[in-house]
Amino acid sequence: MHPALALPEILGHILQNLGPKDLASCTTVSRQFWEESSTVLWEEVTLADCAQLLPGVTCTEIPTERMGVMAFTIPSRGPPPVEKLDYQSNGPLFRNLKRLQVEEVELSHKQSEFISLFTSPGVRHVDIRQSRPDSALAESIIPTVPRLYPSLSSLTIHLPSYTMRSSETVIDAVKLYPSLTGLEVRTTPQELAQVVELASQMECLTRATFLGVGNTDTTLPDDSFKLIQSLRVEGRGIEGIRRIASSVTSSDLQRLDVMWAPESTPVSEADYLPTLDRFKKLRVLRLNAPASFMLHSCIAPALNCHGLEEVSIRARTSDFSQEVLRTMAQSWPNLRHLELAAAGPVLTGIPSLGMLRCFAEFCPRLQTLSARVRLDLADDTLHEMRQEAPGVGSALRRINVGRSVIMLPEPETEASETVEQSLKDVVTALLASWPNLMILGFDAKGAYAEGWAHLQSVLDVLREGLSA
């Protein structure tokens, strides 16, 4: 071997220009080659390359800006022939690994031992996802996590809502990590209730996601979630959801994401969300609930959160009247992103396009607006569109109307020239409110799609005329 290769600087420069397969071969040359090449190999390697280096392991990429992040889907046909890279003699090859995600079809005890090959002192996040209720993943993998990764800062465990396993598996694992900053758990409602109780007293927890919340009798302490900044809660139990939201004492909450898939039992509107006035730093609010809970139980508790920048409200049906929309616009002047997604019957409680112009008046920073709307080319709608908007939202570039309805008059009842003029009136009114509007995005089909496409073409023509 040339003496120059003994210098780490020269060797490292050479290795930077090698591909993954060559780097893997270099790890077996010598101790020095292993140290230098493995650093390059597993710090900047793509997950597609991992599939070539480790036969039998299917790799999927996790979107991230940090290097050294890998996710492995372990197949059920046995561990890959890892001895080809001589792991045992050289030690853990994945010393730069930061995040490990394990998804499975069916794991045996022998395959669970394969996880130990990914031991690394740099691992800070472990993500375990079980898809089958009769799988052995919970019993074989979760108990080994605290032993292999004692310094985790974030833990994700997704298990089916019902499963053939011990009910204490997830609870025992969470107990061993009292200093987690991030926790995401999906499991049975009974087990999740105990996990929530443990998480509420974690001193460092800033991000929490609880999926599968049910109606339980668990009472949370008064000083729960003292440092939480982001909270996501989903489930069928409205009482459980309200109990978690009401227990948050952190003044630093910046994001609240609530999705309620209701059970058949009726619930009072007052039981959905508590008032959110105490969260002065709340910036993101995403709510998904039945129609009867939308206005009084979702919007009203957040009207005093004047710092909101992103709001998403989804419902099966909703009644977004002009008064309600105007109240929302006045209450949230710092909005940058707004989504109003109603999925009910056509034209039932769906706002018109002109009704959204109040957000141009009161929300000058609005950048994206998504809403299911209706546009009737009738006298009342055109009159509404022609009304002047006192304010102008210059930041908005795109309005996404989704599966919206545009009602074009029948050719025999109104001349095509009149329809064209009506569309021009609508676009002119929109440009008066949002002068930089460029795109009307839509997901409609058939006649509705033709109408919205026609409106987009009119918008393009008028914009070209303004730029000229």
Q: What is the per-residue pLDDT for 214?
A: 84
CB-based contact 370:341 (threshold 8 Å): yes
pLDDT of residue 331: 93
CA distance 459 to 465: 10
R_g of the chain, CA atoms, integer Å: 28
Q: How many helices (H) and strands (E) does the chain have?
A: 17, 17
* Tokens (6 digits) for 269: 């509107």
Rounded Cα–Cα distance for residues 283 and 194 (Å): 29
Whether pTM > 0.85 for this model: the answer is: no
pLDDT of residue 112: 54
Confidence at residue 115, expressed as pLDDT on a 0 to 100 scale: 64
* 257, 231 contact by CB (below 8 A): yes
Give me the half-sphere count of Cα atoms (radius 13 Å) on the Cβ side of residue 166: 12
Nearest Cα to 402, choosing from 364, 366, 356?
A: 356
Q: Which residue's entry shows tokens 């394969």?
A: 114
Buried b / exposed e across 364-379, counting CB within 10 Å, b at 16+? bebbbbbbbbbbbbee
Q: Are strands 99-104 and 69-74 parallel, antiparallel or unpaired?
A: parallel
CA distance 352 to 367: 19
C-alpha pair distances (Å), 297 with each of 42, 241, 287, 303, 304 = 50, 13, 10, 11, 14
Q: Which of 386, 440, 387, 376 is nearest to 414 (CA)?
A: 376
252, 274 Cβ separation under 8 angstroms: no
**pLDDT at position 117:** 58
Indicate the SS3 state at residue 46.
coil
The count of residues in the chain is 468
3-state secondary structure of 107: coil
Phi, psi of 244 (to 5 degrees): -65, -45
Coil, strand or helix at 327? helix
- Please give the sequence-ordered ranges of beta strands (E in DSSP) within 316-381, or none if there are none: 337-342, 368-371, 374-376
Q: How far apart are CA 378 and CA 419, in angstroms?
A: 10
pLDDT of 254 reads 96
Dist. CA 210–CA 187, nearest whole Å: 9
Cα 146 versus chain centre, distance: 27
- Taking only the tens of pLDDT, the chain with its 468 residues reads 677 777 778 888 888 888 767 777 787 777 778 777 766 766 544 444 554 555 444 444 444 333 344 444 444 434 333 333 333 433 444 556 677 777 654 444 444 555 665 666 777 888 888 777 766 666 777 888 888 888 899 999 988 866 555 557 788 889 989 999 999 999 888 889 999 999 999 999 999 999 988 877 677 888 899 999 999 999 888 788 888 988 999 999 999 998 887 654 455 555 567 788 889 899 999 988 765 555 556 677 888 899 999 999 887 656 677 888 889 999 999 999 999 876 555 456 678 888 888 898 899 999 999 988 888 877 767 777 777 666 677 889 889 888 788 877 665 555 667 778 888 888 888 888 888 899 988 887 777 888 888 889 999 988 887 665
Contact 68, 46 (CB under 8 A): no
Residue 73: strand pairing partners: 58, 103
Determine how many CB atoms are found less than 10 A away from the CB of residue 214.
Answer: 19
- What local confidence, expressed as pLDDT, does residue 284 receive? 96
Q: Do the beta carbons of residue 407 and residue 374 sit within 8 Å?
A: yes
Instruction: Establish how many alpha carbons lie within 13 A of residue 196's alpha carbon, considering only the half-sphere containing its beta carbon.
Output: 33
Q: What ranges in 66-128 are assigned the alpha helix state H? A: 87-90, 109-112
Q: Is 221 exposed, middle or buried (0-12, 13-18, 19+ CB in 10 A)?
A: exposed
